[in-house]
Amino acid sequence: MEHVTEPLLLGIVVATALAFDFTNGFHDTGNAMATSIATRALKPKQAVLLSATLNMVGAFLSLTVAATIAKGIVDSGVVTLEIVLAGLAGGIIWNLVTWLFGIPSSSSHALVGGVVGAVLAAAGTGGVLWAGLVAKVLLPALIAPLVAILVGTVATALVARITRDVPQDTNDRMFRWGQIGSASLVSLAHGTNDAQKSMGIILLALIAAGAVPSDSSVPFWVIVSCALAMALGTYTGGWRVIRTLGKGLVELESRQGMAAETSSAAVILLSSHFGYSLSTTHVATGSIMGSGVGMKGASVRWSVAGRMFMAWLITVPAAATVGALAYGLDRLVGGTAGSYVVFGVLLAIAAFIWWWSRRKPVGHHNVNDDWEPVADAEAILAEAVVDHELSEAADGPVTVPDARERES
């Protein structure tokens, strides 16, 4: 390894890329499996195991990995290892924060946002290709859910109409199989698509550090470690996000779940086939909303949906801010030490968010509990804090809704 410049820095970037891969799997499990869990087509543990396995298979299936990051969105000439590190930090922190609030948000948009912020801090506004950012990231974030809502609505309405004289228990039993099949397809597509991104980042870092020649293909250990990191993340299960998607948006039954997942799989695969890639998260969320619109008697909780749309709009600016701060910190400390500090701070923040999440844990045991609509994100936090205080004080009869009124 004597040709490698700064091997420790390279190690940190690779570790951070794998961490991002982990949060990606962990954050996006719900896209494929939330509906199957909510309708009890699969037990929560079975669902995440199936999804993790298919994600891993998908990661090995991916054949074309490009050593690019945010291609067409930032000037590739200015991207350095420090920028990649800061960008990854932005992506990871945004993924963790949205997970804490149970909001599904696009992992790839978070990564792009982090890199854009780091590039802005490093090279100024000239380093960002603004037209590319609008065309490839911002507008698709608005378009994807609309397309998916349309397809999901039509699919659900057709299914509901065709099967209206079939007994409910027969419908549930048979559509569960369709649901499991279509959800599996979404998992597989996710593994192929998103594991590639982390592989590309690691390859880019290896090339930049001189560890492999610039025309190298992806080393086998990179494929294995990316596949494992994503599968592990998926298996850990972002239960908070799963809960929001499966229980928060729409009360689902199997027919809706099957229609929604098929709509997601179709739109995701077709969009990449026609060269207009749409985020898996945005599509999956839109399809689930559509399954509420298309079903008589079902309703979409638009307040929850509205909070998601807001989160999607601020994904790029928020992750960019973190990316820029991380890059600034890196430069401020200076040298290789700067990158160590960024890595350390990232670990500390991640640990803090995890600790915070334990105050009101969501796991496979309570993921399907009844949904209590909450007005806004602050209220969830307030509720979590109040709950915590209540459980500490253990003073019986005060209920959570009362506590929320007291807070507001």
Partner 1 sequence: MQQYIEWGALANVVLVGLLVGAGLPALFALGVRALAGTGAKDEAGQVRTGRKVLAAVAFGIVIATIVAAVAYIAAGGH
Residues that bind partner 1 (CB under 8 A): 58, 61-64, 131, 134-135, 139, 143, 147, 150-152, 154-156, 158-159, 162-163, 165-167, 170-171, 174-175, 178, 181-182, 185, 188-189, 192-193, 255, 258-259, 262-267, 269-276, 278, 287
Token pair for residue 281?
Answer: 């998260």
Our CB check for partner 1 shows the closer of 255 and 307 to be 255
Closest C-alpha among 230, 288, 223 to residue 39? 288
Distance between terminal CA atoms of the chain?
59
Token pair for residue 329?
Answer: 């910190």
Our CB check for partner 1 shows the closer of 254 and 339 to be 254
The minimum distance between CB 262 and partner 1, in angstroms, equals 5
The minimum distance between CB 257 and partner 1, in angstroms, equals 10
The minimum distance between CB 137 and partner 1, in angstroms, equals 11
* Vertex 307: Cα angle to 304 and 313 (nearest 5): 145
Token pair for residue 112?
Answer: 């792009």
Our CB check for partner 1 shows the closer of 167 and 397 to be 167
The minimum distance between CB 185 and partner 1, in angstroms, equals 6
Helix (H) or strand (E) holding 31: helix 7-38
Q: Any idea how long the chain is?
A: 408
Q: Helix (H, G, I), strand (E, B), or coil: what is residue 25?
A: helix
The region, left, alpha or beta by phi > 0 then psi within -120 to 50, assigned to residue 141 is alpha
User: Which residues sit opposite 71 in a β-bridge?
Assistant: 74
The minimum distance between CB 277 and partner 1, in angstroms, equals 10
Our CB check for partner 1 shows the closer of 165 and 392 to be 165
The minimum distance between CB 275 and partner 1, in angstroms, equals 6
The minimum distance between CB 59 and partner 1, in angstroms, equals 12
User: Which residues sit opposite 300 in a β-bridge?
Assistant: 250
Separation of alpha carbons 336 and 3, rounded Å: 17
Our CB check for partner 1 shows the closer of 8 and 142 to be 142
Separation of alpha carbons 348 and 195, rounded Å: 25
Count of CB atoms within 10 A of residue 399's CB? 10
Our CB check for partner 1 shows the closer of 33 and 100 to be 33
Our CB check for partner 1 shows the closer of 95 and 171 to be 171
Q: Which amino acid is at 218?
A: V
